[in-house]
């Protein structure tokens, strides 16, 4: 039986994996049909026929992760690092019967590379599913508060 605490712990664990650059362990959190979505509109509904900054399946996320380690990944010389500061996740749904486990988490995200440091604010929405005894990410949606602003490179994951 998945509890609210397990959802919250899952979200903290995910941020920890990103902050410590345990990319493979982070990918393992995703369901085979999971998606990572970074919308580009306020309360965006459609990831396919409206523009997004990212809408990626596991194949594309694997490409990103492998690229980060590549010998000829020039934009990662020097490498980026990141830091997630999360507010306590709000449980939106914790319904085992319906298979619905959802939470929304307000965050400040920092990405740094060389002497540069960029800071972003937004909300992460997790749609999780139960596989066996554990949770997997069906959809991780990150809405930036300033999704419409022009950014420089964002190379890691919020």
Partner 1 sequence: MARYGQNAGAIEALVRNTEVHRDVYVDPEIFDLEMEHLFPNSWIYVGHASQLAKPGDFITATIGRQPVMASRHNDGSIHVFYNRCPHKGVKIASEPCGNTGKFFRCPYHAWSFKTDGSLLAIPLKKGYENTGFGDAKANEGLSRIKNVKIYRDFIFARLNDTGLSFEDYFGESLSTIDNMVDRSPEGKLAVMAAPIRYMHTCNWKMLVENQTDTCHPMVAHESSAGTAVKVWKREQGDATETPMAVQLYGPFMSPYEFYEQSGIRIWPNGHGHTGVANSIHSNYSDIDGYLGQMVAAYGEHRAHEILGEVRHNTVYFPNIMVKGAVQILRNFIPIAVDKTLVESWVYRLVGAPDKLYERALMYNRFINAPTSIVGHDDLEMYERAQEGLKSNGNQWVNLQRLYEAGEEPDATAVINGTSERQMRNQFHAWAKFMTMDMDKQVEAAE
Positions touching partner 1 (CB under 8 A) are 38, 40-41, 48-55, 57, 59-60, 62-64, 66-67, 70, 72-75, 148-155
Q: Select 52 or 130, whichever has its Cβ closest to partner 1.
A: 52
In terms of CB distance, is 43 or 74 closer to partner 1?
A: 74
Q: How far is the CB of 103 from partner 1 (least distance, A)?
A: 23
CB of 15 to partner 1, least distance (A): 19
Pair 106, 123: CB distance under 8 Å: yes
8 A C-beta contact, residue 39 and residue 47: yes
Give the SS3 label for residue 135.
strand
What minimum distance in Å lies between the beta carbon of 27 and partner 1?
A: 12
Closest by CA position to 118, among listed 85, 82, 148: 82
Cα 76 from Cα 63, distance rounded (Å) = 14
Of residues 1 and 72, the one with the C-beta less far from partner 1: 72
Nearest to partner 1 of 58, 100 (CB atom): 58
Exposure class string for 48-76: b at 16+ Cβ within 10 A, else e:
eeeebebbbebeebeebeeebeeeeeeee
Q: Are 101 and 117 in contact (CB under 8 A)?
A: no
Minimum separation from the CB atom of position 77 to partner 1 (A): 8
CB closer to partner 1 out of 9 and 57: 57
Shortest distance (Å) from residue 52 CB to partner 1? 6
Pairing of strands 90-95, 30-39: unpaired
């Amino acid at each position: 039986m998945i509890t609210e605490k397990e959802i919250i712990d899952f979200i903290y664990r995910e941020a920890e994996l990103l902050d410590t650059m345990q990319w493979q362990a982070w990918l393992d959190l995703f369901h085979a049909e999971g998606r990572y979505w970074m919308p580009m509109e306020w309360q965006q509904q459609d990831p396919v026929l409206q523009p997004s900054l990212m809408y990626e399946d596991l194949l594309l996320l694997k490409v990103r992760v492998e690229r980060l380690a590549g010998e000829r990944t020039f934009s990662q010389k020097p490498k980026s690092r990141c830091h997630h500061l999360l507010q306590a996740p709000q449980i939106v749904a914790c319904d085992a019967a319906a298979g619905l486990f959802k939470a929304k988490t307000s965050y400040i995200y920092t990405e740094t590379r060389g002497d540069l440091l960029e800071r972003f604010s937004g909300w992460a929405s997790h749609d999780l599913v139960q596989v066996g005894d554990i949770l997997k990410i069906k959809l991780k949606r990150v809405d930036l508060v300033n999704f419409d602003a022009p950014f420089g490179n964002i190379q890691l994951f919020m």
